[in-house]
């Protein structure tokens, strides 16, 4: 099979590429430095050259709350254009199947918990990441429209917050788990007595281990050909305050956790209804949060020789 993975050099993409290679598939993996997918000509040239039977569109410009607040225009523009250009190029070239990856940020701010796919259009996303969420949500409409008019088999998946080895640990652009791991591991190594975190710790989040998400993408590619969006997650939530305590334990940080309530905490709650993924293509997350965090902490510390982990218990 000929396959293409946009964003294949990134966090989720690199794990998906590994899974494809295990299947004997060597996918085309364009780099953003070589292919600017916000340019429709670049997208069409890529698809023309690759001529994939199966394409995964994972390329995105994304970050945590701070990065979203600093780049609302760029995140709206880049994510909307990349997705639209890949859709159009896939239609022109005749891609057999296109897997589009959306975002949990597309859901309305006040979506009832657990988030069900039917509620996706019931309101506006949480303000701090709304431009990004709106751009990614628009791709669902595009996928459904291209299916109806052109017969393009485009499916749309909604992963919850991802984490795991090879995540982005840059404090300016990272999401909550890598930021917590880096802050606490470095604070421990420097002997600092406190770390300061945004918000008050009360918002909840759901997290999906990156290898589980890669498995879900392949299962959907194999088994799902529908027009409706599908959530990918664990169906379990944790308060940020409790998550911070768990990361402190795993990194060995024993100091004080201080909360800066002048900073935004984001959407109040996030937890998905994950029944559709189980019913339609048999996906159920395998990795418990503590296990996934232990793996992620050990990977990160292994990349940073000056950091030390607590002794195993």
Give residue-wise pLDDT tens across range 111-148.
999 999 999 999 999 998 899 999 999 999 999 999 99
Whether the bond between 276 and the residue before it is cis, its omega within 30 degrees of 0, is no
Q: Which two tokens stand for residue 52?
A: 């994939």
Q: What is the Cα–Cα distance from 73 to 133, expressed in whole angstroms?
A: 12
For the chain, the straight-line distance linking the first and the last C-alpha, in angstroms and rounded, comes to 46
Q: What is the structure's pLDDT at 308?
A: 61
pLDDT tens for 158-201 read 999 999 999 999 988 888 999 999 999 999 999 999 999 989 99
What domains are there in the chain, each with its CATH number?
A: 3-163+207-232 (3.40.50.720)
Please indicate whether residue 77 is annotated as part of the active site: no
- Output the pLDDT for position 265: 81
- pTM across the whole model: 0.93
Out of 75, 132, 163, 209, which one is annotated catalytic? 132
Q: What is the pLDDT of residue 122?
A: 97
Q: Quick one: which of 190, 221, 238 has its CA closest to 20?
A: 221
Kindly list the strands in the beta sheet with 3-6, ordered across the sheet, starting from the edge strand earlier in the chain. 3-6, 54-57, 97-101, 154-159, 230-232
Q: Which residues of the chain have pLDDT under 50?
A: 311-313
């Amino acid at each position: 099979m000929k396959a293409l993975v946009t964003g294949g050099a990134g966090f989720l993409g690199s794990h998906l590429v590994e899974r494809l290679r295990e299947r004997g598939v060597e996918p085309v993996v364009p780099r953003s430095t070589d292919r600017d997918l916000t340019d429709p000509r670049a997208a069409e040239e890529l698809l023309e050259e690759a001529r994939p039977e199966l394409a995964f569109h994972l390329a995105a410009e994304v970050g945590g709350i701070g990065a979203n607040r600093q780049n609302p225009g760029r995140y709206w523009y880049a994510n909307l254009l990349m997705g639209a250009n890949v859709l159009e190029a896939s239609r022109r070239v005749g891609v057999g199947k296109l897997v589009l990856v959306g975002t949990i940020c597309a859901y309305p701010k006040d979506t009832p918990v657990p988030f069900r796919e039917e509620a996706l259009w019931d309101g506006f996303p949480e303000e701090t990441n709304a431009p990004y969420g709106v751009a990614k949500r628009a791709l669902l409409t595009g996928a459904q429209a291209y299916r109806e008019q052109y017969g393009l088999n485009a499916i749309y998946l909604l992963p919850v917050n991802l984490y795991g080895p090879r995540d982005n640990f840059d404090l300016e652009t990272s999401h909550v788990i890598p930021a917590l791991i880096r802050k606490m591991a470095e604070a421990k190594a420097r002997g600092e007595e406190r770390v300061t975190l945004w918000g008050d710790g009360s918002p909840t989040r759901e997290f999906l281990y990156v290898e589980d998400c890669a498995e879900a993408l392949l299962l959907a590619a194999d088994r799902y050909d529908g027009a409706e969006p599908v959530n990918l997650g664990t169906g379990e939530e944790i308060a940020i305050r409790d998550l911070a305590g768990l990361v402190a334990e795993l990194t060995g940080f024993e100091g004080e956790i201080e909360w800066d309530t002048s900073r935004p905490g984001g959407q109040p709650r996030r937890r998905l209804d994950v029944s559709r993924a189980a019913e339609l293509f048999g996906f159920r997350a395998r990795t418990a949060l503590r296990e996934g965090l232990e793996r992620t902490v050990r990977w990160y510390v292994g990349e940073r020789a000056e950091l030390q982990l607590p002794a195993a218990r």
